Structure 1
Amino acid sequence: MGSNYTLKDAPEHIIRDLIEREYPNDGDVHSRNALYLLRCRHSSSREAIKREVVRGEDSYYDSPPSWIDKAFDADRLYYVGRYSGDVRERILKHCRGTGANFTGIFPPVEIVTIKWIPGSEDTDERERKLANQIQESSENNGYSAYVYQF
């Protein structure tokens, strides 16, 4: 699935350079859609996860989203996303904890893949297929995975 890089504590310019080198977009960074898959760090404490959820989103205070328990029970965590624009900046937002609630709670540790998609293709369908592939692969290899997709 492409090269994997540890993102924890990596300087932003290093992440940008790695994306440009390993996942080149043959043209302008704004010219095509990108589908990306991030492996995220798991927390060992369900209560720590719930504290992060409460701290990050007031609306979760009484009932955290169902994906919290699913994520906690999984052996591996992934975030699949799509973006039309500068995907480097989007991934950096995830690394900073501001890209999505999920990556704010479970920070990305690896870029598993970035796939450039021509603007006319259905990115929703490709996102679902990628999430399903990861789920099937994990089951076939004896571990559980939770793939979050918005």
Structure 2
Amino acid sequence: MKEFSNGLVDKTEAVYVLECQWKTVSQRVAREELRLQNDVSWVGEAQKNQRLVYVGVSTDVPSRLLKHSLGRGAGANFTQMFPPTRLLSIQWFKHESDAYRAEELTADILREETHSGVYISQPG
């Protein structure tokens, strides 16, 4: 956490929401792309939807977004398979625990409020 000279505290944890690119990927290709992981059933589940959204937490949002956009070997498994196309929102928090709670709540709210055809992914 960074403190400015005027006593204000910089919020250092961010919850971000990304819209990701839809594409068709076979289970075989998914396993190869994700270094032969056995369980990639979520790829098929995501492909049943028209819109893909990823919710994550980071202390360095620009660096994390770059990793997500690089694809192979960087970022989350989800964004390796479905690259991000735009940043939908970002919220800042002072404490890591608050950010992780907010990440889960954000994903839950998005799942409840979105219509069918939207797949919400989050780490863990």
The TM-score bracket by the shorter chain reads 0.7 to 0.9
Whether the 8 Å CA contact 1:52–1:105 is kept in 2: the answer is: no
Q: Which residue of 2 aligns with 1:56?
A: 33
In structure 2, the gaps of 5 or more residues are 1-7
Whether the 8 Å CA contact 2:15–2:99 is kept in 1: the answer is: yes
Deviation sequence 1:66-121 (CA, Å, 0-9, x none) = 3112101112111110012x211111110111211110110001100111111265
Identity between Structure 1 and Structure 2 (%)? 32
Whether the 8 Å CA contact 1:76–1:146 is kept in 2: the answer is: yes
In structure 1, the gaps of 5 or more residues are 1-25
Whether the 8 Å CA contact 1:71–1:146 is kept in 2: the answer is: yes
Report the secondary structure of 2:95's partner residue: coil
Report the secondary structure of 2:75's partner residue: coil
Q: In structure 1, how many angstroms separate the alpha carbons of the residues matched to 2:70 and 2:113? A: 29
Whether the 8 Å CA contact 2:31–2:40 is kept in 1: the answer is: no
Q: Which residue of 2 aligns with 1:89?
A: 63
Report the secondary structure of 1:71's partner residue: helix
Query: After the TM superposition, which parts of structure 1 deviate over 4 Å for at least 4 consecutive aligned residues?
Result: none
* 2:61 is aligned with 1:65: no
* 2:123 is aligned with 1:146: no
Question: TM-score when scaled to structure 2?
Answer: 0.79
* 2:13 is aligned with 1:36: no
Map 1:5-16; keep pairs closer than 5 Å.
none
Q: In structure 2, how many angstroms separate the alpha carbons of the residues matched to 1:87 and 1:108? A: 13
How far 1:52 moved relative to its partner? 3.8
Deviation sequence 1:1-30 (CA, Å, 0-9, x none) = xxxxxxxxxxxxxxxxxxxxxxxxx976xx
Deviation sequence 1:103-145 (CA, Å, 0-9, x none) = 0110001100111111265222211111112112212xxx321
- Larger strand share, 1 or 2: 2
Q: In structure 1, how many angstroms separate the alpha carbons of the residues matched to 2:34 and 2:88? A: 27
Whether the 8 Å CA contact 1:53–1:64 is kept in 2: the answer is: no
